[in-house]
Amino acid sequence: MQVNACGNQLSNLGSSFSEKSIQNNSTITNDSVVAVASIFSEFSPMDVVGEITKYADFDTLKVLLSVSKNINTVIFSQNEERSKLVKGVAFGKEEWLKFYDLDIGNEPLLSRDNIKMFNSPDPSDPTKRLIDTHLLTLIPKGVSVTSFGELAKKHFPTRRAYRDAYQPILDVVATPNEKSYWALMSKDVLNGSRNKSFETQQKMVAVLSQNANVNCEIPSALEAAVSILTHQVRSGERLFSDNPLTATRCLEVFKGFQGVGGFARLASGSTTTTMSTTSLALRPCGSSGHWSLDNWPLFEGLGFLAFGFWRTQDRLT
């Protein structure tokens, strides 16, 4: 198998007050932030407040949201503008409702640095932007691998949700997601990672992390399945397919099984073929398996990133 992983350490222009208080051994607290911001918002024009919130980091924005309705409005207005910049690329609230009849509530916020990062060169191919080589997908609160398989049946009515998926594995990944967040997952694999041991792949990720100045991690089964299949449903493009057989190693490990992929094109009759989620497989790893793990997902929690997957760690609502 192979693994995915790479991204940029976020560097926000505005540090959170809590982080500064630790660095300076000061006694500034979130209550202090609220008090100061309340006074500031009362006497300063909202366009000035808007300029300041543009540069606030995730923790500070969470605090500012509780200050006043005006600041709350400014922050969410900025988020709407940033969301427009990735419209047509991101699979967000609007797409979940359109393709799965699922209302996910408020979208997690996208920071100014997120948008900058999306438009930055891909560490694996500097001639392309990250947003062009990755899938930006909202992972909704309350969804699990199991429940998403049921949702996916709407688009593949003649097929089971998952094929070759060992039931004990599905039991492991049946826990609902605790919060909504964005994930940015690479569409392709790290060169040279096919058919390597997990230990070798981990070393490759470490080297990539060092060279690209990023933190690297592996996606969860939920992140991989949701990112891959929502992209297929919307665009018709089948990633992590069977030619060659491709899967992504996941965070969850159960008795040597930890892969998601192998999305084959299956016959739906004697003369036609269709794409199907039945090929979603949690594939065996180890010396006896020859499955390739081709996705190096990049995570970012408005603080860290892993190639292929970028994950926001928290919500501002």
Calculate the average pLDDT of the chain: 62
What pLDDT is stored for residue 46 in this prediction? Answer: 55
| 124 within some domain | yes
What percentage of the chain reaches a pLDDT higher than 70? 41
| 313 within some domain | no
| 264 within some domain | yes
Name the nearest CA neighbour of 130 among 304, 309, 9.
Answer: 309
| 227 within some domain | yes
* Distance, CA of 23 to CA of 32 (rounded, Å): 17
| 82 within some domain | no
Highest mean pLDDT: which range of 51-60, 61-70, 85-94, 264-273 = 85-94
Structural domain boundaries enclosing 139: 89-293
* H or E element at residue 258: strand 257-261
| 9 within some domain | no
Burial (0-12, 13-18, 19+ Cβ within 10 Å), 74: buried
Q: Comparing 126 with 313, which gets the higher pLDDT?
A: 126
Q: How many Cβ atoms are within 10 Å of 32's Cβ, its own excluded? A: 15
| 314 within some domain | no
DSSP per-residue letters across 105-170: -SPPP--HHHHHHHTSEETTEEEEEHHHHEEEEEE-TT--HHHHHHHHTTT-TTS-S-SS--HHHH
Q: Domain tally for the chain?
A: 1
What pLDDT is stored for residue 140 in this prediction? Answer: 93
Q: Which two tokens stand for residue 2?
A: 């192979």
What pLDDT is stored for residue 158 in this prediction? Answer: 55
Burial (0-12, 13-18, 19+ Cβ within 10 Å), 158: exposed
Instruction: Output the pTM of the full model.
Output: 0.63
| 19 within some domain | no
